[in-house]
Amino acid sequence: MNPNKKWWIDTNIEVLKKNLEARNFECFVVERKEDVVPLLERIVKEGSVVSCGGSMTLFECGVIEFLRNGKFNFLDRYKEGLSGEEIGEIYRKSFWADYYLMSANAITLDGKLINIDGNGNRLAALMFGPKNVIVIVGINKLVLNEQEGIDRVRNIASPMNARRLSKNTPCSSSGRCHDCLSDDCICSHIVVTRRHPVKGRIKVIVVKEELGF
């Protein structure tokens, strides 16, 4: 990595970590996506009930494979052949999980998590339910402030996710948000998590690489 880029990343992550901890989030920093699973091996206890939100980051870091092959009761929303009803049941059971893994659509330098969701199951679990929530974010999700974060989730993350999911929305064609009310809209809920009342329940793993959308 270019030394100037490394300096910028290291300097900003140091500020981010301090601000996350001030908001009652526990923060871990790793260099590469390959470092995520070894860290999870230390955090997630065997025999636990584990679930996850929709996330390309989890696949890119090998987290889904880790959960499938580990000694966990994994509520696997990605299992082939599941009906819509079965997926909905997994969403509901996830509220009782010991660990819920997800990514964030944006994270601000002052330590806020910003997310957008269609069904709202991922954001509901982030806010309340599972005993522990683990949020894995790449350096590309880092923004300066809340407004930049909302702009990012609407005009970068959402169009790419809508296209990935083959949604018939204006953004999946134009690449930018139209504030639509389409039946395929994946932007029903925007949540800014500025702190958490339970210290350490939300654990943020910051990866010094670009991950997901």
Question: Taking every pair of C-alpha atoms in the chain, what is the biggest distance, in angstroms?
Answer: 50
* CATH 2.30.40.10, domain 3-207, yes or no: no
Q: What is the pLDDT of residue 119?
A: 92
- Contact at 8 Å (CB) between 113 and 104? yes
For 26, phi then psi, to 5°, come to: -90, 135
Number of H helices, E strands in the chain: 9, 10
Its pTM stands at: 0.96
Residue 93 is encoded by which pair of tokens? Answer: 């059971």
**Could you report the per-residue pLDDT of 6-56, keeping only the tens digit for each?**
999 999 999 999 999 999 999 999 999 999 999 999 999 999 999 999 999
